[in-house]
Chain A
Amino acid sequence: MNNFGFTIKKTRSFNLSQADLRKAEALLREVPSYRKCIGCGGCTATCSARQFTDFDIRKVHNTFRRGQYDKLADELRKCMLCGKCTLVCPRGVNLRSLIINMRQLLTPSNETF
């Protein structure tokens, strides 16, 4: 590997070409508005669950999009589905729909993938 004079922490690096993106692609099909996300973090800033825990919805949907589904199901259980994130989103992403669809895709009995 080339040495550029800085390193990326091991834990944060992953190989996107080896990731299983089928669920992420299904999510984008179900919620097309998610393609517009610019990752501004408005959703996390307003999140009700965030005010009590370290629940970070931007982190959740970003990691989901990269195909890293571990532990996301438990994380998503913290969401109260109040919909403030949807209202503040500057790009009009339907976050409530996104969350519901992520949960359904992460349910073990959902055997599509």
Chain B
Amino acid sequence: MANFHPFVVPFVLGTIGLFVICGYKYVRWIKQFDRKQQKLIKKNMFSTRIFPAIKEMFCECLLHLRISKKNWRLGYMHRSIAFGWFLLIVVGAIESRIGTKGPFHFWCAIFYRFFHHNPPANGTEFVFTQLMDLILLYVLSGIFLAFVKKVHSRFLGMKRTTKHTVMDTTVKIALWAIFPLRLLSESVTARLYANGGFLTQSIGDLFGRRAAEFLELPCWSLYSIALCIFFLMLPFTRYMHIFTEVFLIYFRKLGLRDSVKMTGYTKFELSSCSRCGMCIDRCPLYNTLDINDVQSVYLLRNLRNLEHHQDILAAGKNCLMCHQCAEDCPVDIDLMSIRRISRDKGDTDMSDNYRYLDTVRGFNAIGRVAYFGGCMTQLTPTISESMKTIFDAAGVKYWHLDGDRSICCGRPLMQQGFNKQAADLRRKVSELITSSHPTALITSCPICYNTFKYEYNLPIPVYHHTEYLDMLIKSGKLPVKQMDTTFTYHDPCDLGRGTGIYEQPREVLKAIGQLKEISAEKENSVCCGMNLGNTVLSLDQQTKLRDKSLQILTEPNPDVVVTACPMCKKAFKHGTEANVKDIAEVVASSVRNVECRMQNYEL
């Protein structure tokens, strides 16, 4: 049989195994999509959404642009291996198509130099030979950097890397072996037949002829075996992300999102995690408390393997849900939703609750805005008092929805996996709001804001009070006075990373005083430690987290530490000598300083 040698058998078996196993897994997961997800796929499968999906696949799966933004060396490492290997396959396929004489099998492209002994005859072949060597060098530089990362990860911008399982480490060694083995095999063949490029030929010439004759077959065999091991183990290890991420990007662009239960889409997400460990570095639980087994990378691994049931439960519980890992994830996996899925309470979660809320009557709030302080604001009443001062000063008619009795928005239940109960509560609150017909909903609590914005389908606009204050000041309805007070601003997790509101509070503060920069702000803001997402941390641990956050906030020595969350304010207030205020209080004190224009504005 022409163009065949027994050493290609492992490679062929590996490739067939890879496609069969991956195909089986993907088909099974697609069958597990829920009805809503299936509908979306059917609707959008061939829509124009494919084009942005293809673009993102190219940018992320091959070029790894998001990682490059974090650290260019790390980006280069991933790009050189992923994109380099892709080029090696594509260019190799073209080269072998042109050059192969006799029957063409798919392995001819991989082992082209072994079967094609003639030195480059014409210009095209010469160019291809040199190009393939260049690409191989590119990949090898990536492998070298990967090795450097293993020894000294800080060089590539990562303080810590993931603790891998034995399987993951084995397959990594196989991957690292593939390219040096290819270089060696091609070099030895180049020594014998002078068919190499600038790299393989010059390395090959270092060998003696007899050594090369002796080494040729073992080298090619080892190369084939390394490929076989890598391919066969890939579907069961973290390298499954190579193919799965492509599908994930496609489904995400079609509009699919996580459901409250584990679905096929979640399975795609779990397997798209490359366990790069970028979620570890900035996890507050690791940074401050040295808790090193609950980070998203480990949760996803355990969920994917569905082993260590107790580990999943423990790791799932111990998380602040501060969105930091979701912000850092280069694959953009919805880590917060997966965390919630891992907390699903199953049988404990019962429907038909909160009948007592039916006794709450709506209010004829036509022409008024509804103000929802949130439960935490009940414990920091100065915030709601300040908001009332502001509403009066701006001449806005308002209705304090939870003034005398507080109603929860349902987020704490949702975060703890009580999905049915949360839905019940949301329905009640939603009915209460819509039956009262306010013009807008303003809330002081980022936790409630996030829920009202993303979980409720309210027919009216929802604002956090930072947004609303910014609107009032910019439109001139709220006269404020510029003072020379200095502020530092703390981005609450749910307002910043959760809903992406960074600029409005800063604009407000700049209109009143001077805003000082701090070392970790906006998406890097450090959680105050009191986040509702966690039920496991002790008070001491929370205090440690709070102190870390406060240290950053008080570093530039501001007059006032400002936050926009009643929870953060409550956390900070007891931990520092500095003056801690909510943004509403700051604005209200500024308003009191100027003469209020008591006019009624329609809003």
**Count of interface residues, chain A, beta-carbon cutoff 8 Å:** 27
Whether B407 pairs with A48 at a CB distance below 8 angstroms is: yes
Q: A51-B406, A83-B375, A94-B535 are in contact. List 13 more A-B contacts (CB 8 A).
A: A46-B378, A80-B354, A80-B408, A80-B413, A80-B425, A81-B416, A83-B532, A84-B375, A88-B379, A94-B536, A96-B532, A97-B536, A104-B348
Give chain B residues whose Cβ lies under 8 Å from the Cβ of A81. Answer: 408, 412-413, 416, 418
B54: Cβ under 8 A from any A Cβ = no
B437: Cβ under 8 A from any A Cβ = no
Closest Cβ–Cβ distance, residue A37 to chain B (whole Å) = 13
Which among A33, A84, A92, A94 is the interface contact of B376 at CB below 8 angstroms?
A: A84
A29: Cβ under 8 A from any B Cβ = no
- Beta-carbon nearest neighbor of A32 in chain B: B538
Give chain B residues whose Cβ lies under 8 Å from the Cβ of A77. Answer: 350, 353, 421
Whether A52 pairs with B348 at a CB distance below 8 angstroms is: no
Stretch at the interface among B139-147, B222-230, B273-281, B356-364: B356-364
Whether A48 pairs with B408 at a CB distance below 8 angstroms is: yes
- Beta-carbon nearest neighbor of A80 in chain B: B408
- Beta-carbon nearest neighbor of A49 in chain B: B356
A21: Cβ under 8 A from any B Cβ = no
B405: Cβ under 8 A from any A Cβ = yes
Give chain A residues whose Cβ lies under 8 Å from the Cβ of B345. Answer: 100, 103-104
Closest Cβ–Cβ distance, residue A34 to chain B (whole Å) = 12
Known: A80-B412, A107-B347. A92 touches B539 (CB 8 A): yes
Which among A82, A88, A104, A108 is the interface contact of B406 at CB below 8 angstroms?
A: A82
Whether A48 pairs with B538 at a CB distance below 8 angstroms is: no
Give chain A residues whose Cβ lies under 8 Å from the Cβ of B408. Answer: 48, 80-82
- Beta-carbon nearest neighbor of A95 in chain B: B535
Give chain B residues whose Cβ lies under 8 Å from the Cβ of A94. Answer: 535-536, 538-539
B506: Cβ under 8 A from any A Cβ = no
Give chain A residues whose Cβ lies under 8 Å from the Cβ of B539. Answer: 33, 92, 94
- Beta-carbon nearest neighbor of A30 in chain B: B536
Give chain B residues whose Cβ lies under 8 Å from the Cβ of A80. Answer: 354, 375, 407-408, 410, 412-413, 425
B410-430 vs A: 1/0 string, CB under 8 Å?
101100101001000100000
Give chain B residues whose Cβ lies under 8 Å from the Cβ of A3. Answer: none
Whether B375 pairs with A48 at a CB distance below 8 angstroms is: yes
Closest Cβ–Cβ distance, residue A60 to chain B (whole Å) = 15
A13: Cβ under 8 A from any B Cβ = no
Whether A84 pairs with B354 at a CB distance below 8 angstroms is: no
A53: Cβ under 8 A from any B Cβ = yes
B400: Cβ under 8 A from any A Cβ = no
Q: Which 5 A-B pairs have the closest CB atoms?
A: A80-B408, A92-B539, A82-B375, A97-B535, A51-B405
Give chain B residues whose Cβ lies under 8 Å from the Cβ of A52. Answer: 356-357, 359-360, 405
B570: Cβ under 8 A from any A Cβ = yes
Closest Cβ–Cβ distance, residue B489 to chain A (whole Å) = 23
A88 to B416, CA, bound (A): 20
Which among B347, B357, B379 is the interface contact of A84 at CB below 8 angstroms?
A: B379
Whether B353 pairs with A33 at a CB distance below 8 angstroms is: no
Which among A82, A103, A104 is the interface contact of B412 at CB below 8 angstroms?
A: A82
Known: A48-B406, A51-B406, A94-B535. A87 touches B360 (CB 8 A): no
Which among B410, B412, B421, B538 is the interface contact of A33 at CB below 8 angstroms?
A: B538
Give chain B residues whose Cβ lies under 8 Å from the Cβ of A11. Answer: none
Closest Cβ–Cβ distance, residue B20 to chain A (whole Å) = 39
Give chain A residues whose Cβ lies under 8 Å from the Cβ of B404. Answer: 51
* Interface positions of B from 473 to 516, Cβ below 8 Å from A: none
Give chain B residues whose Cβ lies under 8 Å from the Cβ of A109. Answer: 347
A49 to B421, CA, bound (A): 14
A-B contact pairs, 23 of them (CB 8 A): A33-B538, A48-B406, A48-B407, A51-B405, A52-B356, A77-B421, A78-B353, A78-B354, A80-B412, A81-B412, A81-B416, A81-B418, A82-B408, A87-B376, A87-B379, A87-B530, A87-B570, A94-B536, A96-B412, A96-B416, A100-B345, A100-B416, A104-B348
Whether A83 pairs with B353 at a CB distance below 8 angstroms is: no
Give chain A residues whose Cβ lies under 8 Å from the Cβ of B570. Answer: 87
* Interface positions of B from 321 to 369, Cβ below 8 Å from A: 345, 347-348, 350, 353-354, 356-357, 359-360
Give chain B residues whose Cβ lies under 8 Å from the Cβ of A88. Answer: 379
Closest Cβ–Cβ distance, residue B570 to chain A (whole Å) = 6
Give chain A residues whose Cβ lies under 8 Å from the Cβ of B360. Answer: 52
Closest Cβ–Cβ distance, residue A61 to chain B (whole Å) = 15
Give chain A residues whose Cβ lies under 8 Å from the Cβ of B407. Answer: 48, 80
Give chain B residues whose Cβ lies under 8 Å from the Cβ of A92. Answer: 538-539
Give chain A residues whose Cβ lies under 8 Å from the Cβ of B357. Answer: 52
- Beta-carbon nearest neighbor of B346 in chain A: A109
Closest Cβ–Cβ distance, residue A88 to chain B (whole Å) = 7
Give chain B residues whose Cβ lies under 8 Å from the Cβ of A108. Answer: 347
* Interface positions of B from 372 to 409, Cβ below 8 Å from A: 375-376, 378-379, 404-408
Give chain A residues whose Cβ lies under 8 Å from the Cβ of B350. Answer: 77
Closest Cβ–Cβ distance, residue B461 to chain A (whole Å) = 24
A52 to B432, CA, bound (A): 15
A77 to B348, CA, bound (A): 10
B523-538 vs A: 1/0 string, CB under 8 Å?
0000000101001101
Whether B356 pairs with A53 at a CB distance below 8 angstroms is: yes
Give chain A residues whose Cβ lies under 8 Å from the Cβ of B379. Answer: 46, 84, 87-88
* Interface positions of A from 54 to 113, Cβ below 8 Å from B: 77-78, 80-84, 87-88, 92, 94, 96-97, 100, 103-104, 107-110
A40 to B379, CA, bound (A): 18
- Beta-carbon nearest neighbor of A104 in chain B: B348
A10 to B357, CA, bound (A): 34
A92 to B542, CA, bound (A): 11
A92 to B571, CA, bound (A): 13
Closest Cβ–Cβ distance, residue B372 to chain A (whole Å) = 13
Known: A100-B535, A104-B348, A107-B347. A83 touches B412 (CB 8 A): yes
- Beta-carbon nearest neighbor of B360 in chain A: A52
A48 to B530, CA, bound (A): 19
Give chain B residues whose Cβ lies under 8 Å from the Cβ of A83. Answer: 375-376, 412, 532
A100 to B356, CA, bound (A): 21
A78 to B355, CA, bound (A): 9
Closest Cβ–Cβ distance, residue A84 to chain B (whole Å) = 5
Closest Cβ–Cβ distance, residue B134 to chain A (whole Å) = 59
A54 to B91, CA, bound (A): 74
